[in-house]
Amino acid sequence: MLIPTLRTERLELIPPDSTCDSAYQHFYTDAEASAAYGGPLSPAAAWSRLAYDIGAWYLQGFGVWALRRHEDAAVLGVCGFWQGRGWPRELTWWLLPEARGRGYAVEASLAVVKHAYVKFGWEAVHTYCADANEAAKALILRLGGVQVARQVFPDGEHRNVYLIPRPAA
């Protein structure tokens, strides 16, 4: 499978690979940074997350891209799509703590959402987050997200589901 590379003004969105390991280790072993993603994780479990993200492309035909900054090739996090068994597909992202607050998540999200509508041909892009995740909710609103449902998820938690509209050309 050929996983596309996407480009934005400041980022190159690349298929995740073993060169992303240090970013995954940094993010997932940091309790505060990864709290909304099941962390902290052991180094072995962080490696397994990377392996999952690589494999998702081959099993599902979609996944997350690693965000690499043009200026220094630093991997800053990921953005793309996730769907665990029994879960709805979602737009997802995470950034290393030092990369937050600079608009990278918005920039990357707009690129992957556009790709989903234009190249994947999806009729809708949805996302969801824990009620207490204010940072994620703020990003969803910046992307133009509109709440379309509230549902119970496989983990027993209730979450709002948001439709992310197709970005303007």
- Per domain, the residue ranges of the chain are 6-164
Query: What span, in angstroms and rounded, lies between the C-alpha atoms of 36 and 8?
Result: 26
- Please check whether the domain covering 6-164 is classified as CATH 3.40.50.300: no
What does pLDDT average to in each consecutive run of 10 residues of the chain (169 residues)? 95 98 98 95 98 98 98 98 97 98 98 98 98 96 98 97 92
